[in-house]
Structure 1
Amino acid sequence: MKRVLIFDSGVGGLSVYQEIYAQLPNVQYIYAFDDAAFPYGELPEDELIARTRHIVSLLVERHSIDLVVVACNTASTIVLPTLRDVLAIPVVGVVPAIKPAAMLSERKVIGLLATPATVQREYTELLISQFASHCEVLRIGSTRLVEMAEQKLRGQAISIAELEKILKPWRNVVDCIVLGCTHFPLIKDEITLALDGDVTIVDSGRAIANRVKDLLGDVTTSSAEPNLTYNSAAGINTAALDSSLAAMQLEPVKTLHYPRL
């Protein structure tokens, strides 16, 4: 039986999990999110590296993990080299889908919707220069959209009016939007509605799933183990979230206790 660990600062990585699960339902999944330090985009880099390394290494050892997915754009840009140094298994990260967006855009004006940290990262500039130098790339860095995605999975309503206000600068301007945060596919329908549906929206979820499938190899044997969910924030009410998790074939949230953090 193959086991895959999917890690994020919050519930955004569930969008990646859904893409991978759709292709590989016979794998056991362990989803872990570091809610005690959410959002990662506001953490100092050394703290982000320390937390990610500790949590991921702990769960890899506990569950004999075969592959790790860091389903967070912010963390992927910072911690992948460290994790690959300390782990003897494949580690897959995520990057904004700028290349396919540049190919799909007819106007050659694309929007990058991500966290404030991601839109400012040097690696984002590198992706744009490599794959979208012939396009105008407009950027919106929004922590609020991350919070909205978290709220949605906890059963709270999303304000379309608020989304329209955030995305107003792009109306009738961009024809393709990159969801550069794994939280954002969770509110893709709401984003589409706020922009009247007149855009193409792309994310990296399917590409990540394809990569995981290639790396895992044969997974025809079904897992007999449940798919587990861990969170670092003790004492939070997860009842509404647990309902969303159940619909995704994930067990209710368990608190992950670790002494260093």
Structure 2
Amino acid sequence: MVGPILVFDSGIGGLSVFDHIHSQLPQHDIYYLFDNARLPYGDLNEQELIHGCVELIVRQVKAIRASIVVVACNSASTLVLPELRKQLDIPVVGVVPAIKPAALISITRHIGLLATPGTVTRQYTQDLIDSFASDCKVTLVGTSDLVLIAEAKAQRKTVDINQIEKILAPIKATDIDTLVLGCTHFPLLQQEIDQVLQQKVMLLDSGDAVAARVLSFIEANEEQCITKKGNLQAGFTKDIDLGLEMTLADYGFTQLQRITVAN
């Protein structure tokens, strides 16, 4: 495990996970890879998502000699982890919607899951609910529009709070007290979501849990790691605008690379 940590997402949502990892491991090199050419992942069919993700991640792991892969995308994690683990001999960490902790802390026994349509409808998600929230009412809200709003915010565009209000209407109309942000894009809109829900709902995401998992892998293999300089690089599959470049720079990513997507 001598190379950088590779953090992967369809767009800028994985920055919410990167933030947690970087705060725990500021001395480690991190490569942030996002497949914005195929964004949003929540609307892709499963085979297209699996093939595209696996090919891109495996190719980039080899190019940068990554030491660990973090699939910081809920839509991708529900599908691609088994195939990635077959093809790679390094640790692969995914994200799981925070259903379990939400069920543990809910007072009303009514929790919500806000995620992409793909994540909301997959059996993987229902299995999590059956295993950890069987005594709760769970309201599922699927949206790709919120992904695009988060992307627009990262491009320094104005956020339409009325559009977010419409998306969250099914949640606002209930006695939900805990809302799982089941897409890594959504924590980037936490301020706006809090505003719409009037800070009456606890928002949970998986960033801390993912960072803890990465830290455990790094600590278990510390003797194999070379000295790190904390270099941050980002790669993307479609040209980005100045606003997004500025946002990436705010996170520390000033080394940027355009990557060609295989057909």
TM-score computed with the length of structure 1 as normaliser: 0.94
Structure 1 segment 34-49 matched on structure 2, within 5 A: 34-49=35-50
Equivalent in the alignment of 1:223? 228
Does the Cα contact within 8 Å between 2:232 and 2:255 map onto a contact in 1? no
Aligned length: 258
How far apart in 2 are the matches of 1:222 and 1:43? Answer: 40
Residue 242 (1) aligns with residue 242 (2): no
Work out whether residues 242 and 252 of structure 1, in 8 Å CA contact, stay in contact via their aligned partners in 2. no
Deviation for aligned residue 1:225: 6.0
Describe the SS at the equivalent of 1:110. strand
**Maintained 8 Å contact 2:5/2:67:** yes
TM superposition shift of 1:44 = 2.1
* Residues 3 and 64, structure 2, Cα contact 8 Å, conserved in 1: no
Instruction: Please say if 1:125 is aligned against 2:130.
Output: no
Q: Deviations over 1:145-181 (max 9, x none)?
A: 0011101111011122221122122225211000000
2:66: which partner in 1?
65
User: Could you say which residue in structure 1 is the equivalent of 2:138?
Assistant: 137
Rounded Cα–Cα distance in structure 2 between residues aligned with 1:225 and 1:208: 19
C-alpha distance in structure 2 between counterparts of 1:113 and 1:81, whole Å:
24
Secondary structure of the corresponding residue to residue 113 of structure 2: strand
How far the C-alpha of 1:43 sits from its partner, in A, is 1.7
Distance 1:207 1:138 in 2: 23
Runs of 4+ in structure 1 over 4 Å off: 219-222
Code of the aligned partner of 2:188: L
2:100 and 2:50 mapped to 1: Cα distance? 27
Percent of aligned positions that are identical? 43
CA contact (8 A) 1:19 1:209 kept: yes
Q: Work out the CA distance in 1 between the residues paired with 2:134 and 2:156.
A: 40
Q: Supply the distance in 2 between the matched residues of 1:45 and 1:25 (Cα, whole angstroms).
A: 35
C-alpha displacement of 1:2: 4.5
Q: 2:32·2:235 contact (CA, 8 Å) conserved in 1? A: yes
In structure 1, distance between residues paired with 2:55 and 2:147: 24
SS of the residue 2:168 aligns to? helix
3-state secondary structure, aligned to 1:174: coil
Structure 1 residues not aligned, in runs of 5+: none
Q: In structure 2, what is the equivalent of residue 199 of structure 1?
A: 201
Letter in 2 for 1:190: E
Q: Which segment is superposed worse, 113-122 or 163-172? A: 163-172
Question: Is the partner of 1:148 in helix, strand or coil?
Answer: helix
CA deviation vs aligned residue, 1:181-222 (integer Å, no higher than 9, x gap): 000000011100010011100000000000000011139976
> 1:180 corresponds to which letter in structure 2?
G
Deviations 1:99-158 (A, max 9, x none): 000111100111100001111010110000000001000011011100111011110111
> 2:84, 2:92 within 8 Å by CA — same for their partners in 1?
yes
Partner of 1:209: 211
Query: In structure 2, how many angstroms separate the alpha carbons of the residues matched to 1:6 and 1:35?
Result: 14
Instruction: Specify the alignment match of 1:232 in structure 2.
Output: 237
Aligned to 1:55: 56
Contact 2:28 2:229 in 1 (8 A): no
Report the Cα distance in structure 2 between the residues aligned to 1:86 and 1:101, rounded to whole angstroms. Answer: 33
SS at match of 1:77: helix
Contact 2:8–2:73 (Cα < 8 Å) also in 1: yes
Partners of 1:67 and 1:84 lie apart in 2 by: 11
- Letter paired with 2:251: M
Shift in Å at residue 247 of structure 1?
1.3
- Render the CA deviation track for 1:36-60: whole Å, top value 9, x for unaligned: 1111122222221211111111111
User: What is the SS of the residue equivalent to 1:134?
Assistant: coil
What's the C-alpha RMSD, in Å, of the aligned pairs? 1.6
**For the residues of structure 2 that align with 1:71 and 1:118, how far apart are their CA atoms?**
13
Q: TM-score scaled by structure 2?
A: 0.94
* Contact 1:175–1:198 (CA under 8 A) maintained in structure 2: yes
Specify the code of the residue in structure 2 equivalent to 1:86. Q
Cα 1:120–1:162 change in 2 (3 A) is same
Where does residue 161 of structure 2 map in the other structure?
Answer: 160
